[in-house]
Structure 1
Amino acid sequence: MNTLKALIKRNTKLFFKDKGMFFASLITPLILLVLYGTFLSNVYEETFQESLKAAGATVTDKLINGCVGGQLVSSLLAVSCVTVAFCSNMVMVQDRVNGARRDLTISPVKSSTLAMSYYISTLLSTLLVCCIAAGVCLLYLAKVGWFLTVTDVLLLLLDVLLLSLFGTALSSIVNHFLSSQGQMSAVGTIISAGYGFICGAYMPISQFSKGIQHTVSFLPGTYGTSLLRNHVMRGTFEEMSHQNLPSQVVEAIKDSIDCNLYFFDNKVETCTMYLILVGAVVLLIVVYVLLNVLRGKKYK
């Protein structure tokens, strides 16, 4: 246990010591918030307005802004929890590049202990950045339209924790196979550009073709995005009901922005989404530890 603590401390210090890596991780969610608010807010607002117009319903501007803000915030956090994890996990790759990993591997330190030290230190760094991003997002919602309760905020933070666990596990497996700075940069670029689409953050899955919808329904990150959507926007949907919007209209809006997810036309309940996400985290961690144990035996 003391060895694990020492390695976690060592890896975490290395991450924060590299100011470029730390500030790149920290500023990424803030840049996304500005970009989302600048370019996507109008698209989301038009979508809501068209849905309400088709139903012959009207709501206050504050409610519309709250809906748009909730969709923006949930999209940003869903992407950041994974992309930031890949940035935070670069210490593992750097150790392999500069030879420190080989020195640690041939020492008496167990491969499983070394693997968990990288995982936990990456998780701590990722959570720090994502919690700061979540705080900024909550301030943004307070400005544009606040409909959250204390329970909603706590569930939002739980979602951030689970997605950070998932993102850290996924990045640990991917980065396990990287051995150069060039590979690290390439993977980071691919993840940053592509993950937001396949998890439904940039564009709702409901707007994809049926084939793509069925494919992405197998991906755990999809359910993480939906959980964030449900918890950030629960208050706005409740307010819609208070403003006498028909329940059919509210459900149609939920379908259009992936608050309601369907697995081959079967609605996925919230508790099932949690089970899928937690199960994926456990499975990925087990795979990651096994990969490190096998590599450790190879070196020894």
Structure 2
Amino acid sequence: MKGLPALVWRNTKLFFKDKGMFFTSLITPLILLVLFVTFLGNVYRDSLDMTVADVPGVSELPESLVEGFVGGWLFSSLLAVCCVTVAFCANMLMVQDKVTGARTDLTMAPVGRGCLAMGYYISTAISTLIICFIALGACFVYLGKMGWYLSEEDMILTCLDVMLLTMFGTALSSVVNHFLSTQGQISAVGTIVSAGYGFICGAYMPISQFSEGIQTFISFLPGTYGTALLHSHLMRGTYEAMEDVLPVQAVDGLRGAFDSDLVFQGHTVTEPEMYLVLGGAVVILIGVYVALGKMKRA
């Protein structure tokens, strides 16, 4: 592992030096931000207004509370998607090294294949974290101006969620990219992940709006629980403030409708269980990735 720091530095520097790879990783966050702000934001505002309209004695919610709710949902969804899609883009370097022949040169150096694999993993995680924490900072700034209901605990837990989801996205991309060897394959996988991951992790629309069969399928995916953790922590303060205005039953209904409370096979999943599922998936995927790296030279 003596060469690990050098490998991590080399891979991270190449990612930020390659303008094409860097800006490709930013495309998904920017598209999602525009989509959320221009379209989905109004959809969730209307949904919230319809819920409030059914509550006797309540005409409307304070604007800051509405914006805090919508902003918390949209940015938690944005972060949940970016932690995975950006990781896939940042991890393209592993495949590009195969295409250019740099991987062959690296395997000839006195560096173990396990060390080489971890070099790609750690550098991808670092690059992804930098981009995702910039997005998280933008989230805090937006909520601070529009409707701030976050406690210090929720801010810390949100940062932990982003780190854990980034580790998951990096591990998943490492396993998938291990089997890729051409630029065409990189583009195809990147397109599929960018287009489809948001739907199957409950980011683009609440899981409760899917059919029962799809809900069951999604509940088996680890990324779903990472998304739910972000929803819970970025919106918990908003829900607590809503309890001063709305009946508890109405607020509980919103929690369930907007995935802050997840149900698996009739069991409401607790936050420690969500962390256990997501953390376990990270450990398993990293183990598989390192094992693949040791078994195959290319």
Give the letter for the 2:274 counterpart.
M
1:10 alignment counterpart? 10
Counterpart of 2:269 in structure 1 is 268
1:83-106, CA deviations, whole angstroms, 9 ceiling, x for partnerless residues?
000111011010010111122223
Where does residue 195 of structure 1 map in the other structure?
197
Equivalent residue, structure 2, for 1:59: 61
Alignment check: 8 A CA contact 1:30 1:133 kept: no
**Residues 247-283 of structure 1: CA deviation (Å, up to 9, x unaligned):** 1111100000100000012100011000000000000
TM-score, normalisation: structure 1: 0.96
Superposed CA offset, 1:145-188 (max 9, x none): 11112221111111100000000000001111111111101110
Give the 3-state SS of the residue equivalent to 1:259 in structure 2: coil
RMSD value, Cα: 1.2
By how many angstroms is 1:138 displaced? Answer: 1.2
Q: Which residue of 2 aligns with 1:288?
A: 289
2:257 equivalent to 1:256: yes
Measured in 2, the distance between the counterparts of 1:149 and 1:131 equals 18
Q: By how many angstroms is 1:204 displaced?
A: 0.5
C-alpha displacement of 1:79: 0.3
1:257 and 1:271 mapped to 2: Cα distance? 19
2:199 is aligned with 1:205: no
TM-superposed CA distance for 1:242, in Å, is 2.0
**What is the aligned length?**
296
Q: Does 1:158 align with 2:160?
A: yes
The CA distance in 1 between the partners of 2:156 and 2:30, in whole Å, is 21
| Paired residues of 2:83 and 2:166 also in contact (CA < 8 A) | yes
Q: Which amino acid aligns with 2:139?
A: C
Amino acid at match of 1:190: I
1:27 deviation in Å?
A: 5.1
Give how far 1:43 is off. 0.6
Deviation at 1:108, TM superposition (A): 2.8
Amino acid at match of 1:99: G
- Write out per-residue CA displacement over residues 190-222 of structure 1, whole angstroms, 9 at most, x where no aligned residue: 000000000000011011111111111010000
SS in 2 for 1:242: coil
> Which residue identity does 1:16 align to in structure 2?
F
Following TM superposition, where does structure 1 have runs of at least 4 consecutive aligned residues deviating by more than 6 angstroms? none
The amino acid across from 1:30 in the alignment is L
Which is further off, 189-198 or 147-156? 147-156
Gaps spanning 5+ residues in structure 2: where?
none
The residue number in structure 1 matching 2:107 is 105
Q: Which residue in the other structure is 2:217 paired with?
A: 215
User: d(CA) in 2 for partners of 1:15 and 1:21?
Assistant: 7
Within the candidate set 75, 85, 96, 1:94 is matched to 96
- Following superposition, the deviation at residue 32 of structure 1 comes to 1.9
Match of 2:144 in 1: 142
Over the matched positions of the two proteins, sequence identity in percent amounts to 61
Give the CA deviation at 1:59. Answer: 2.0
Looking at structure 2, the residues matched to 85 and 253 of structure 1 have their Cα atoms a distance apart, in angstroms, of: 31
1:50 is the counterpart of 2:50:
yes
3-state secondary structure, aligned to 1:55: coil
CA contact (8 A) 2:28 2:194 kept: no
Q: Distance in 2 between matches of 1:242 and 1:155?
A: 24
Q: 1:230 aligns with which of 226, 229, 232?
A: 232
**How do 1:112-151 and structure 2 match up within 5 A?**
112-151=114-153
Q: TM-score, normalised by structure 2?
A: 0.96
